[in-house]
Amino acid sequence: MAVTAQTTKLDARKLRADFPIFEQTFHGKPLAFLDSAASSQKPRQMLDAMREFYETSYANVHRGVYQLAERATAALEGSREKVRELLNAPAAREVIFVRNATEGLNLVAYAWGLNNLGPGDIVLVTELEHHSNWVPWQYMAKKTGAEFRMLPLDEHGELDLGALDEAADGGNVKVVATGLVSNSLGTINPVEKLVAWAHERGAIFVCDAAQAAPHMTVDVQALGCDFLAISGHKMCGPSGIGAVWGRAELLERMEPFLLGGHMIRSVRFEGTTWGELPHKFEAGTAPMAEAVGFAAAIDYLHGIGFDAISAHEHELVSYALDRLAEVPGLTTYGPPADRRAGIVSFNFDDIHPHDVAQILDLEGVAIRAGHHCCQPLMQKLGVAATNRASFYLYTLPEEIDQLVDGLHKVKKVFA
Ligand code: C6P
C-alpha cells in the first residue's frame, strides 16, 4: 500500500464510463455502490472479451485437436500466464483455476491438511479471518486430531504479534493461515513477518489474498508464502473463477482435491494415476470463458496501475473516516487510515445494521450489513453485525457524501 510521489493519479470519473452499471439509477438516485469488497462491478473491456471468446473461440479445452479447440486452450493457458504474472509466481503450472478463493482455500486445507496434520500439531488462524480461511482449517484440525488455535487482535483491530509465541506454546505449529487484507476492518496484515515466524517453526503459510489482489500488488515471492488464493469477481473479473497458487514442491506431493475428467494420467480397474500440475487439481471442464474474462480484468487493472488504485482508495478511506467522524452516534472499527485498505465498518447508535442499509438503499447507497462471514471477529467486537462501506477504483468522494447524507436521514427516521 506504499504511495509514491510518482504514482499517476487515477481518474475515477473517467473510469466509471467503462462500467455500464453506473448508467442506471436506483430509487431515482444515482448509484453509490459502496459494496465492492463483496464483489466488484464489471468494465466493458472484460465483458467484451468474454463475448468475443464465446462468439469466435469457444470449444472445450485440452481435449479437441481441431483448430477451434486449440484456440480455446491457448486462451485458457494465456489467462493462467496472466495470473502467474499478476502474482509473480515462479511457474504457470503452480496456478490452479478454481471457482473462487473459498474453493482455493478448501483445496489447500483438504489436499494438504488431510495428509500433513495430526495429533500434536497446531493449526493457527486469526480472529480477523474470513470464514473461508477459518472454517476449512477448523474442520481439518478436528478431522485429523490437530489443535485449532486463533491469534487474537489488539484494540485497533490489528493482529497482536506479541501473542504469537503463546499461540505456539506446547505444540508443533504446522500451518498458519491468514488474510492479507481483512474484509471487515480493512486491516492490512504484516504477512511477511507472519511468514517468517511460520517458516522458523517449519510451518507452511496460507495467504488469503481475496481482498488484497484487487487493490494492491500481490507478489507471492516477496510475501514468501506457500499458498495464496484470489477471486476473479472481486477484481473486475467474472464470477465463477478464482485461482490458488502453491509452491510446486508442495503441490506435487499433495493428493488431488476433486476427482474425475481431465485430472488423470491413466485410469485402470486396479487404480488411477494423476496428471501433471496444474491439471491434477483441475477436474472437469474448465471455466474457459471466465478465464478469458479474468485475463481481460487483469489487463484492465494493470492499465490503471495497482499503485494508482491503492493511492485512490487510500484517499477515499481517509476521507470516509473523517466524514463519518462528523456523524453523531457512529462508531467505526479498525485501524487508522494509513494502515488499512478501502474498507470501513461501522455501527450507528443502536440501529440494526440491516435497517441502516435498507434506508440507505432508498437513497441510492449500496452498502453491506451483516457479519461479513467473520463471526469470530464480530464476537471479539461484541456486536452481532456491522455496516460496511467499501471502495474501488471507480468510487467517487461524492458517493461517500451520499452515504453521510443518507446516514443523517436514517437518524431522522429512527429519531
Ligand atoms: N468476502 C465480503 O463481502 P469468495 O466468496 O470465495 O469469492 O471469497 C471468499 C472470501 C475469502 N476471503 C476474504 C477476505 C473475503 O473477503 C472473501 C469474500 C465477501 O466480504 C463475501 S463474504
Contact predicate 181/158, CB 8 Å: no
Contact predicate 78/293, CB 8 Å: no
Cell of 315: 484517499
Instruction: Indicate if the pLDDT at residue 7 is higher than 90.
Output: no
pLDDT score, position 164: 97
Q: Give the distance (Å) from ligand 1 centre to CA of residue 175.
A: 21
Instruction: Indicate if the pLDDT at residue 105 is higher than 80.
Output: yes
Q: Give the distance (Å) from ligand 1 centre to CA of residue 130.
A: 7
Cell of 79: 489467462
pLDDT score, position 4: 46
pTM (2 d.p.): 0.97
Strand (E) or helix (H) holding 267: strand 264-268
Active site residue 225: no
Quickly tell me which residue has 499503485 as its cell: 307
Given the residues 207, 225, 236, 373, select the one marked as catalytic: 373
Q: Give the distance (Å) from ligand 1 centre to CA of residue 119.
A: 30
110-122 residue pLDDT tens? 999 999 999 999 9
Would the CB of 388 count as within 6 Å of ligand 1? no
pLDDT score, position 146: 98
CA dist 92 and 90 (Å) reads: 7
Best mutation site among 130, 131, 390 for ligand 1 pocket (most ligand atoms within 8 Å of CB): 130
Domains of the chain (ranges, CATH numbers): 12-35+305-413 (3.90.1150.10), 57-302 (3.40.640.10)
Closest listed residue to residue 328, CA positions, set 213, 233, 408, 220: 408
Count CA within 13 A, CB hemisphere, residue 355: 12
User: Nearest residue CA, atom 19 of ligand 1?
Assistant: 38
Would the CB of 369 count as within 6 Å of ligand 1? no
pLDDT score, position 64: 87
Amino acid, res. 52: E
User: Nearest residue CA, atom 2 of ligand 1?
Assistant: 38
What is the atom index within ligand 1 of the atom nearest the CA of 104? Answer: 6
